[in-house]
Amino acid sequence: MTNEELVLSYQQGDKQALESLIKNIRGLVVKIANRFYDSGRIYDLDDLIQAGNIGVIEAAKNYKFDMEHKASFSTYAFSVIRSNILDCISGKSLKEKKNTKFYKSMASLNSPLKNGEERELFEIIDSHDDSIENIEHKLYLDKLREDLEKVMKENTTVKETNILKFHYGWDCKRCTFVEIGDILEISDSTVQKIEDTALKKIRSCKWVIDEYKKYYVFAKQNYRTVEEKLDFMSKYFKGVL
């Protein structure tokens, strides 16, 4: 049976179908967990794999067969597995998982500051630097991350979003096209083509156009500030802007 057939059987009450589905998706779960695993942290790989398996169950419960332009189950599950593993890493409860603003703030602590600088936000916070400049910078990155999440959701497919996040190290280690292809079981050239398509969509979306206009006007007053903002944005998606 295909994954989609197993999901349908599970949604109709067949518990055995869920067990078969988890076995089918296990390879994907392990690959994603390995991308996030850090032996120096308090969690272990088995914890991440278990969190990923729970993600498979959640995905099976919520997968809709009547969605327009629906993704395959494995593509849909990919995002849910990834999200659950991130929740495991941050030690979040089910109640906290619903607080998306909290999640975005925590995840952005590991965001690089600017080109050529290796320190990250969590390191600055650990140093007890509560200066206004640091707080403003963190708030700016939070807002930028939120905007880019929305842009991807509105303009790219689930698979395109997954590829962008893995390639640019969104909450995890950066992956090469070959590594992403191994996870998604497609060729590296296909991964690159999908990413190119996604970036074209983002470049032409209303948000990017509006940002260009906003920065162009503001540049008349403070060109250096605009340049720095664009530099920060390029840390998320080099080549998008």
Q: Sorting pLDDT into bands at 50, 70 and 90, what band is 194?
A: very high
Residues 27 and 80 in one domain: yes
DSSP for 171-203, please give it.
SS----HHHHHHHHTS-HHHHHHHHHHHHHHHH
| Per-residue model confidence (pLDDT) at position 209 | 79
pLDDT tens digits along 136-168: 566 677 778 888 888 888 898 888 998 998 888
| Per-residue model confidence (pLDDT) at position 22 | 92
| Per-residue model confidence (pLDDT) at position 120 | 41
- The more confidently predicted of residues 238 and 36 is 36
CB 194 within 8 A of CB 163: yes
Parent domain of 165:
99-241
Residues 129 and 64 in one domain: no
241 CB-near residues (< 8 Å, 6+ apart): 203, 208, 211, 212, 230, 233, 234
- State how many domains the chain has: 2
> Among residues 50, 68, 94, which one ends one of the domains?
94
Residues 207 and 104 in one domain: yes
Predicted confidence (pLDDT) at residue 47 exceeds the cutoff of 50: yes
Predicted confidence (pLDDT) at residue 182 exceeds the cutoff of 80: yes
pLDDT tens digits along 112-130: 434 444 444 344 334 444 4
| Per-residue model confidence (pLDDT) at position 228 | 59
| Mean pLDDT, range 208-221, rounded to an integer | 66
Residues 108 and 196 in one domain: yes
Residues 76 and 114 in one domain: no
Residues 40 and 111 in one domain: no
Which residues sit opposite 120 in a β-bridge? 112
User: pTM of whole model > 0.85?
Assistant: no
Which tokens belong to 215? 């920065």
Residues 43 and 20 in one domain: yes
CATH number for 77: 1.20.120.1810
> Among residues 94, 111, 129, which one ends one of the domains?
94
Residues 108 and 189 in one domain: yes
Residues 152 and 207 in one domain: yes
| Per-residue model confidence (pLDDT) at position 218 | 55
pLDDT tens digits along 68-79: 556 788 888 888
| Mean pLDDT, range 16-33, rounded to an integer | 91
- The more confidently predicted of residues 48 and 132 is 48
| Per-residue model confidence (pLDDT) at position 230 | 57
| Per-residue model confidence (pLDDT) at position 96 | 46
| Mean pLDDT, range 68-96, rounded to an integer | 75
> Among residues 94, 127, 148, which one ends one of the domains?
94
